[in-house]
Amino acid sequence: MNSSSAISPEPASAVGDIENQLLVADGPVGGLPPAHDATGMSGLRDEDLVFVKKIKKKSHNSCCHCIYRYIVWVVTLFGIPKLIFKLLKFLTILLGQFLFAIYARTLWECCGVPVSKLNKQDYLLSKYMGITGDVPVAFNLLNIEKAEQLQWLEEWEAQDSNADDKMDITEFHRYFNLKEVRSELTERMFKIYNTNYNGCINFKDFLTISFTYAPYDRERCCELSFRLMSRRGDTFDIDTSCLDLMDLEHFVQERYNRSNKKSEKWVKKIAVALYAHIDMDMNGGIDYQEFRTFAMENRIFLLYGFWFQSQLRKMLFGEQYWKAATEARRSIYFLDVAFTQTMMQMLDGPAVHSIGMARKDAIPVKKGEKLTFQKDFNEAFYAYKEKKFKAKQDKKKDTTVASTLAAKTHTRLIKIFSRIVPDGMNLMTAFLHWKDVNFYSKSLEMDGGASYKAHNMSLVDLKIAGVANSVGKSTAKLAVALHADFEAEAEEEMREGKKFTKKEKKENAKNEWRPRS
């Protein structure tokens, strides 16, 4: 297209032959210098000129003229009265402009054929405005002037290599130079741009989201940081969105665990400590206002958003452009110079560049020093330590109370046994005596003492115990009574002339009931 044999410009037809309006800004086309650009708007690519070459022979008649000729043909064919013909002619003139607009739009969108003269800005605007035509509205809402509009359109055209008005995540990484940043954050940033949730960014979303978060504004930085930390940041709502414990676990894992090799248990413990410190109303979630209150005092969280803001400004027109854009829109944004300088110092310090975050600037650090939770979140760290110390003290107090209660209970038991047993009996003997007497009493009530006999007494002993009526007596008194009964029985048998051998005496001694000791 740039050779000497290229097509020479020809006069435009009455209905819009556009070759003579579409010239390349980077050099002469068809042997003509840029001075021959009749419209003053050059810069189309070679692909566009090739497309123009293919359609240059097409001429278009006026839509009104076509409609008029069609009506004449219908009148001639069917013989419609002149009155109706005049009425149709009037309606054609009245609606001609509207019908022509539809005709022109259809030709441009479906066939790529313009029906009127276009400059570079109109051409690109028609190319990227979409079906609904939201781009001109967005330009007006953002107060972007004509020259600035062309700058944005040319920037989008330069990255849109396949001319599909779409930017996928690969093109997004390449354009903003995000290859070295961890994928989770860049995916969240891409989802923030992709408002249609279709996996691609169009020009309208690219324009509006860039103008939302690239300006030098502290509130925009805080909002972007919140959305990047949240797993649901693409559906942000300032009134209902919140961070949960898992969001903070991901933050702690990425900021500390990669270098310090902390365990999963440690990560969860630190995340819980940080979560409890930020969630002031303890409702189970960190809403945007709680996040903002904490982030304005401790700006570690804001490094998420500020790093991406800096990258957007750097790759999209530069920092000076965005400073001027922020100043020109003071009703929307507030240029906080002190905040910007502080955040830039934090980014310039020793940082984990692979995840786009830096350590706290207020703490001097040495090269190679590890990131620590104590230095990043000093208040939360000491609140966690205080809570841990208090829990330890409470546990110690509970243990002391339990020991005191046990000692008091033991003392009361001793006093109880001392009341129910005679003097001179030790604690173990008193307990066994009380247990034996209680068992014997229950056995008498239930089965007449049969169960007690089976466990403790022989038949003779049970009979003697029943005669002695030992229930309620002490073990010592019961033993004396039983021995007295045995002696009385022996004396009675001896009177009857019965004598016991040594063997019988031993057997009687074995069967003799004795209290447990």
Instruction: State how far the Cα of 215 lies from the Cα of 336, in Å rounded to an integer.
Output: 11
Same-domain status, 286 and 243: yes
Token reading at 39: 């419209």
* Distance (Å) of CA 60 to CA 54, 108, 241: 15, 13, 55
Same-domain status, 317 and 260: yes
Same-domain status, 291 and 233: yes
Nearest 5°: phi and psi at 504? -65, -35
Same-domain status, 103 and 146: no
Instruction: State how far the Cα of 312 lies from the Cα of 310, in Å rounded to an integer.
Output: 5
| Domain range for 69 | 19-126
**pLDDT computed for residue 362 by the predictor:** 34
**pLDDT computed for residue 366 by the predictor:** 42
Same-domain status, 270 and 293: yes
Strand partners, 352: 357
Instruction: Please choose, from the candidates 136, 164, 168, the residue with its C-alpha nearest in 3D space to the C-alpha of residue 152.
Output: 136
Domain count, the chain: 4
Q: Where are the beta strands (DSSP E) in 369-502?
A: none
Same-domain status, 308 and 368: yes
Q: Give the orientation angle of helix 245-252 with respect to helix 264-278, to 10 degrees.
A: 120
Number of Cα atoms under 13 Å in the Cβ half of residue 381: 8
Give me Rg for the CA atoms of the chain: 49
Q: What is the pLDDT along the chain (517 residues), one digit of tens a residue?
A: 333 333 333 433 333 333 333 333 333 333 333 333 443 334 555 655 555 555 444 434 445 555 556 666 665 655 556 656 666 666 666 666 566 666 666 666 666 555 566 677 777 887 887 767 788 888 888 888 888 888 999 999 888 888 788 898 888 988 888 876 666 888 899 999 998 888 899 899 999 999 999 999 899 999 999 999 998 888 888 888 899 889 988 888 877 765 555 577 888 888 888 888 888 777 878 999 999 999 888 888 898 889 899 989 999 999 899 999 988 888 888 888 888 888 888 876 544 433 444 333 333 334 445 667 777 787 777 777 777 777 777 787 878 877 777 777 767 666 666 555 555 556 666 677 677 777 877 888 888 777 766 666 544 554 455 544 444 445 555 555 555 555 665 566 565 555 556 666 666 655 554 444 4
Token reading at 223: 């909002």
Instruction: Answer yes or no: is 299 within a domain.
Output: yes
Instruction: Answer yes or no: is 386 within a domain.
Output: no
Q: Which amino acid is at 111?
A: C
Instruction: Answer yes or no: is 417 within a domain.
Output: no
**pLDDT computed for residue 193 by the predictor:** 93
Same-domain status, 460 and 507: yes
Same-domain status, 228 and 352: yes
DSSP structure class, residue 387: H
Same-domain status, 308 and 439: no
Token reading at 49: 């000129």
**pLDDT computed for residue 23 by the predictor:** 33
Instruction: State how far the Cα of 354 lies from the Cα of 260, in Å rounded to an integer.
Output: 15
